[in-house]
Structure 1
Amino acid sequence: MHNDPRSHGLWEVTAPPAPPTTALRGHVDVDVAIIGSGYTGMSAGLHLAQQSRSVAILEAKEIGFGGSGRNVGLVNAGLWVMPEDLLTTLGATMGRRVLDLLGNGPREVFDLIAKHDIACEAEPTGTLHCAVGRSGLDNLRERERQWQALGAPVRLMDAGEAARHIGSTAYAGALLDERAGTIQPLAYARGLARAAMDAGVQIHTGTCVTGAQQAGEWWHLRTSGGGSVRARWVIVATNAYTTNMWPELRAELVHLPYFNLATRPLPPRLLETILPKKQGAWDTKEILTSFRLDQAGRMIIGSVGALDRAGRHIHHAWGRRALARIYPQLKDEPFETEWYGSIGMTTDAVPRFHQLAPHVVSISGYNGRGISPGTVFGRVLAELVCGTIGIADMPLPLGPVEPVRTRPVREAFYNVGSAIAHAGTARL
């Protein structure tokens, strides 16, 4: 995208084309204006249109330009935090709402894919959280206990069973979550856009919102190129890629860089034993390693870091070593594509719900779990706008935007620290 092969890498190469869109040049009146064309914005727009609301989605770049088109493609259930920690953070009532919503989130994603016939390499075969050593196994055992107490279909496998699922003896065990799976993330974003447009949503790409002013019950948005929108509601769905409008959202998110490297399609003899059920995987290290196959059999391995300046060489070299450690038979497989982006992190790994002004709402901060939460929270925002639910019924507490004072330091630490760790590490 935008002539940058490292922005979306493999996903840009293999995704179906985006539906045709144009920049907004004139004026439109709609019930709801949505800023951002990622999972949250597209899901909100689709569900609003299905409730007979007129919608315009305004995207500064291209459909799925942000994290929705760059992530690993793991459709996970829940959040990073353990269930009991979430109940402590949000309280019993709201915590259970989030656990129920996001525990069923992957099913909602896969149902949308089936309903709208979205070609995005959907593999609802589960995910594998892989244990690094005894401490990693202890962590997964506790996750298993907490999720099973809620009735979730998760199961801890010992080293032998995990090795059969992973195709590697590198791990001490793995937690299988049967609710989850994988997709081609940019293809899913584009498919959601097509479904939204079929439902009547207007999508304008290359359209940056440059100003917003409220007059009575209406919001007046000015856009680049001289376009304008008048809407009763505004949904801000820009997450980690927030820029000039409502920049306070950017101030409360710490950017975590994440990259992926992809091989060529592997030969059938290798694919017989490597992730035979096409389950996506990641490990329990703090600077984690993720790995999965795409539909054509390419191995995709990723971790924290940015593929810019010196970091590109360091993370490439780490990728070669990491791939060889997990799958020695792939040590000579070249990487054909690479890409990276930013993850929006909150201080407690829980997303934020804000009312930025009257009838201006936002949910952001997915902490690397954007596919399912973005889809689900987009629907929830649509229900709020339609009046189906109220603020008190939302799954997240309404709160003020609270900037992270140490954000620049943390972001520098993630960028530099990941490079130092990857330059020095020689073990799992």
Structure 2
Amino acid sequence: MNHDPCSHGLWEASAPPAPVTSALRATLHADAVVVGAGYTGLSAALVLVQRGACVVVLEAQEVGFGGSGRNVGLVNAGMWVMPSALPGELGESLGHRLLDQLGNAPSQVFELIERHGMDCEPQRSGTLHCAPDATGLRELQERARQWQALGAPVRVLSQAETAQKTGTDAYLGALLDLRAGTVQPLAYARGLAHAAVAAGAQLHTQTVVSAVQDEGRHWRVNTVGGGAVHAPWVIVATNAYSSADGPWGALQAELVRLPYFNMATAPLPPALLSHILPERQGAWDTRQVLSSFRLDRQGRLVLGSVGALRGVGRPIHRDWGRRALAKLFPQLRGVAFEHEWYGEIGMTANALPRFHQLARNTVAFCGYNGRGIAPGTVLGRELARLVLGEITVADLSLPVSGTVPARLKAVRESFYEIGAQLSHFVGARSLG
């Protein structure tokens, strides 16, 4: 995408095409304008047009250009934080509302995929959160206890069960969550775009929003190319890829961006695939600088971790990846990576998404903290319901938050990138 093989890698190489679109040059009138063609924006647009609203979607780059087209593809339930943290952070009512909403979010993603026949490699066999040490195992046992108390179909696997499901003996145990699964993330974003366009949404890519004007009963959203949209509602769905100097730069300022990369092998032979993730779960570990691994439909192993594939980081992370792959799966020693790519995760101070009323009838969710697929889909739907008047702000699962700039943002972002380089440089040496 944008002639950069490190932006979307395997996902761009294997995803079906996006809808044919063009930049906006005209002046349009709509019931709502959605800015950003990722999971949140496209989910909102799809619901709106299905309910009879006139919707225009504006995307500065291409469908799924941001985190929606670069992530690992894990369709997880809940957030990174422990389930019990949500009522403590948000209050009992909102906390349990968000737990219920996000706990059920993966099923809604897979139902949406099936309903619209999206070709995005859905695999609904669960996910594996793996413990490399005793500390990680205790964390998974507590996480399982909390989810089980809420009736979730999760359990902690023994070391032997974990080895059978992953194909490696590197872990003491794993949390199997049967609510979850995997998708081809860019293909899912493009599937949402096709569904929204088929239902009547007007989608314009390569269309940068330059300014917004409040004209009383509606907003005028101006674009760099001279186009404009008049609409009473604006949904801002740009998350970590919000422009710092755009109309909603405050969204970018409040998020600390964490880089994450992925590397993919060539398709593995059937003999290896019978042992490595034989049930096709997606997996990740409990390390602070975590790593993840999964298979795509063609049997490629996708290995990921924290870090950016640029500058001195690129050879460091490549070397770590080669050694980590051989450590996890000795039978893959010497297997090369054919694709590599990375993106940015928008992190908030409490590791939970935020809901913003940026101005009159201008709303946004942002800060998915690496859990964008399922939460982005269901929270995008909630924005659509808010615009339609089906619910009010009081019915949402998150409170209204102000856009507060992240403390020491630049320092923390540099720390994440350089820290990942140091961790992987040392880790690659120790892996041998």
Q: TM-score range by the shorter chain?
A: over 0.9
Deviations 1:362-398 (A, max 9, x none): 0000000000000000000001111111011111000
Deviation at 1:427, TM superposition (A): 5.0
Structure-2 separation of matches of 1:245 and 1:216: 18
The one-letter amino acid paired with 2:285 is: D
Structure-2 separation of matches of 1:170 and 1:73: 22
Structure-1 separation of matches of 2:406 and 2:127: 32
- Residue 44 (structure 1) aligned with residue 29 (structure 2): no
Instruction: Choose from 380, 383, 403 the match for 2:382.
Output: 380
Instruction: Choose from 250, 254, 262 the match for 1:248.
Output: 250
SS in 1 for 2:170: coil
SS in 1 for 2:101: helix
Q: What is the match of residue 222 of structure 1?
A: 222
Structure-1 separation of matches of 2:107 and 2:8: 26
Q: How does 1:214-363 map to 2 (within 5 A)?
A: 214-243=214-243, 244-363=246-365
Structure-1 separation of matches of 2:74 and 2:51: 29
Deviation at 1:405, TM superposition (A): 2.1
The one-letter amino acid paired with 2:378 is: V
State the TM-score, normalizing by the size of structure 2: 0.98
Q: What is the match of residue 193 of structure 1?
A: 193
Q: What is the match of residue 93 of structure 1?
A: 93
Structure-1 separation of matches of 2:91 and 2:162: 35
Deviations 1:245-288 (A, max 9, x none): 21000011000000000000001111010000000000000100
Q: What is the match of residue 407 of structure 2?
A: 405
Structure-2 separation of matches of 1:283 and 1:161: 16
Q: What is the match of residue 148 of structure 1?
A: 148
The one-letter amino acid paired with 1:335 is: F
SS in 2 for 1:216: coil
Q: How does 1:59-78 map to 2 (within 5 A)?
A: 59-78=59-78
- Residue 175 (structure 1) aligned with residue 161 (structure 2): no
Segments of 4+ moved more than 6 angstroms: none
The one-letter amino acid paired with 2:366 is: S
SS in 2 for 1:56: strand
Structure-2 separation of matches of 1:245 and 1:306: 27
Identity of aligned residues (%): 59
**Cα distance change on mapping 1:144 and 1:427 into 2, 3 Å:** farther
Structure-2 separation of matches of 1:283 and 1:326: 12
The one-letter amino acid paired with 1:358 is: R
Deviations 1:194-215 (A, max 9, x none): 0000110000000000010001
Q: What is the match of residue 114 of structure 2?
A: 114
Q: How does 1:410-425 map to 2 (within 5 A)?
A: 410-425=412-427
Deviations 1:152-195 (A, max 9, x none): 00000010011100111010000000000000000000000000
Structure-1 separation of matches of 2:87 and 2:310: 39
SS in 2 for 1:373: helix
- Residue 139 (structure 1) aligned with residue 139 (structure 2): yes
Deviations 1:95-128 (A, max 9, x none): 1111101000000000000000000000010000
Structure-2 separation of matches of 1:57 and 1:427: 47
Structure-2 separation of matches of 1:217 and 1:410: 41
Structure-2 separation of matches of 1:191 and 1:245: 28
Q: What is the match of residue 372 of structure 2?
A: 370
SS in 2 for 1:313: helix
Structure-2 separation of matches of 1:388 and 1:226: 34
State the TM-score, normalizing by the size of structure 1: 0.99
Structure-1 separation of matches of 2:392 and 2:178: 32
SS in 1 for 2:258: strand
Structure-2 separation of matches of 1:362 and 1:118: 26
- Which 5+ residue runs of structure 2 have no aligned equivalent? none
Q: What is the match of residue 18 of structure 1?
A: 18
Deviations 1:2-49 (A, max 9, x none): 000000000000000111001001110000000000000000000011
- Number of matched residues? 428
Structure-1 separation of matches of 2:312 and 2:333: 23
Structure-2 separation of matches of 1:88 and 1:406: 26
Q: What is the match of residue 202 of structure 1?
A: 202
The one-letter amino acid paired with 2:164 is: R
SS in 2 for 1:179: coil
SS in 2 for 1:225: coil
Structure-2 separation of matches of 1:386 and 1:71: 30
Structure-1 separation of matches of 2:431 and 2:380: 40
The one-letter amino acid paired with 1:34 is: V
Structure-2 separation of matches of 1:399 and 1:368: 20
Q: CA RMSD in A?
A: 0.8
SS in 1 for 2:176: strand
Structure-2 separation of matches of 1:162 and 1:76: 18
Deviation at 1:321, TM superposition (A): 1.1
SS in 1 for 2:137: helix
Deviations 1:64-123 (A, max 9, x none): 000000000000000000010111001110011111010000000000000000000000
Structure-1 separation of matches of 2:82 and 2:332: 34
Structure-2 separation of matches of 1:341 and 1:45: 24
The one-letter amino acid paired with 2:215 is: A
Structure-2 separation of matches of 1:353 and 1:389: 15
The one-letter amino acid paired with 1:161 is: E
Deviation at 1:351, TM superposition (A): 0.3
